[in-house]
Amino acid sequence: MHRTERIGWLRAAVLGANDGIVSTASLIIGIAAAGAARDNILLTGVAGLVAGAFSMAAGEYVSVSSQADTERADLATERNELATDPAGEERELTNIYMKRGLNPELARTVAQQLMAHDALGAHARDEIGFSEEFAARPLQAALSSAATFSVGAGLPILTVMLPFHIPLVPFVSLVSLICLAALGAIAARTGGASAWAGAARVTFWGALAMAATAGVGALFGTTVG
């Protein structure tokens, strides 16, 4: 099993979890830096979780549905071209294989045999780069993204709920950055990349977002009430 088969759900899951941690932690930190009461900070975090989860689900579903629509349109075009000009489609496929290194005779033989077996599948795979393994799955992407966003957003919210009287801004920041580093490392290893590199890039952007919102909260000092 190659790791590329995980791309669809892994991308949506990592995006959801990362956005859940970063956006919710940043929101909480910004409100806390403005001097808001803990109850109001908690309410803000929960509202951010609910709104963000639905937003991620809708965004993923719409964007991946657009990809699926494009794939269906391309397949319909290929189906029509195969019905109206099969000889031209055979030449097109032959040229593709020649560009990949086959001699003309062998390329023509391969094109003929593949088209006899599954003409649409051959053109979908080798002409437009479409395969069933990597086909767009809107519902899977939407559910994965929403679920992982909720889990990610829940981490800074749980931090606020802890019965400790400690400064929220540094504590939420620390916990969130640790979670981001772990997420980046796990996602990178799942995809076959360096865990350290994955942790570093996610943590960097998360820290930048939190610092920016903390600065905005401290600058304006608006108490939510």
pLDDT in tens, 90-112: 999 999 999 999 999 999 999 99
224: DSSP letter: P
d(CA 194, CA 204): 16
What is the rounded CA–CA span in Å between residue 187 and residue 223?
A: 37
DSSP 89: H
Q: What share of residues in the chain are helix, strand, coil (percent, to 5)?
A: 85, 0, 15
Closest by CA position to 31, among listed 223, 225, 201: 223
7 Cβ partners below 8 Å, 6+ apart? Answer: 134
Residues 50-73 pLDDT 10s? 999 999 999 989 988 888 888 889
Question: What residue spans define the domains of the chain?
Answer: 3-66+136-220, 73-134
Q: What is the structure's pLDDT at 8?
A: 57
φ, ψ (nearest 5 deg) of residue 31: -70, -40
Q: Which pLDDT value is given to residue 49?
A: 95
Q: How many Å apart are CA 208 and CA 97, to the nearest integer?
A: 48
pLDDT confidence band for 190 (50 / 70 / 90): confident
pLDDT tens readout for residues 198-218: 889 889 999 999 999 988 888
Q: How far apart are CA 185 and CA 201, in angstroms?
A: 10
Residue 117's pLDDT band, with cuts at 50, 70 and 90, is: very high
* Six token digits for residue 49: 């979780």
d(CA 167, CA 184): 26
> Do the Cβ atoms of 145 and 54 come closer than 8 Å?
no
